Amino acid sequence: MWADILKSIDSLFEETVEIRRYLHQYPELSFQEEKTAKFIAEQYEKLDIPYQTNVGGNGVIATLTGAKPGKTVGLRADFDALPIQDEKNVSYKSKIDGVMHACGHDAHTATLLTIAKALKAYQSDLKGTVVFIHQHAEELAPGGAKSIVESGALDNLDAVFGTHLWSNTPYGTVQTSPKEFMAGADRFSITIQGKGGHGAMPQQTNDAIVIGSQLVSNLQHIISRRVDPLDTAVLTIGTFQAGTTFNIIADKATITGTVRTFDPNLQDRIIDEMEKITKGTCTSYDATYSFDYEKGYPPVVNHPEQAALVLRAAAEVDGVQKAEEVLPSMTGEDFSYYLLKKPGAFFFTGAQKEGHVYPHHHPKFDIDERAMIIAAKTLINTVKLYQK
- Tell me which of 264, 297, 330 is where a domain ends: 297
Q: Which pLDDT band holds residue 373 (cuts at 50, 70, 90)?
A: very high
| CATH code: domain of residue 211 | 3.30.70.360
Query: Is this prediction's pTM over 0.85?
Result: yes
**Looking at 28, 33, 106, 138, which residue is catalytic?**
138
Residues 236 and 328 in one domain: no
Residues 76 and 223 in one domain: no
**What are 310-330's pLDDT values in tens digits?**
999 999 999 999 999 999 999
Instruction: Please report how the helices 2-11 and 13-25 are oriented relative to each other, as an axis angle in degrees rounded to 10.
Output: 50
Opening angle at CA 299, ends 298 and 303, nearest 5: 120
Residues 211 and 238 in one domain: yes
Beta-strand runs (E) in the chain:
51-55, 59-65, 68-78, 127-135, 159-170, 173-176, 180-182, 184-193, 197-198, 233-242, 248-249, 252-261, 288-297, 300-301, 322-325, 344-352
Residues 70 and 129 in one domain: yes
Domains: count for the chain: 2
Residues 191 and 272 in one domain: yes
Domain membership of residue 196 as a residue range: 184-297
**What are 208-241's pLDDT values in tens digits?**
999 999 999 999 999 999 999 999 999 999 999 9
Q: Which pLDDT band holds residue 357 (cuts at 50, 70, 90)?
A: confident
Residues 317 and 364 in one domain: yes
**What are 153-181's pLDDT values in tens digits?**
999 999 999 999 999 999 999 999 999 99
Residues 278 and 318 in one domain: no
Active site residue 272: no
**Looking at 28, 33, 78, 80, which residue is catalytic?**
80
Residue 26, CA atoms < 13 Å, CB-side half-sphere? 13
- Tell me which of 297, 321, 344 is where a domain ends: 297
Active site residue 150: no
| CATH code: domain of residue 341 | 3.40.630.10
Q: Is the pLDDT of residue 388 over 90?
A: no
pLDDT at 386: 98
**What are 258-284's pLDDT values in tens digits?**
999 999 999 999 999 999 999 999 999
Cite the annotated binding site for Mn(2+) by residue number. 103, 105, 139, 164, 361
- Tell me which of 297, 314, 342 is where a domain ends: 297
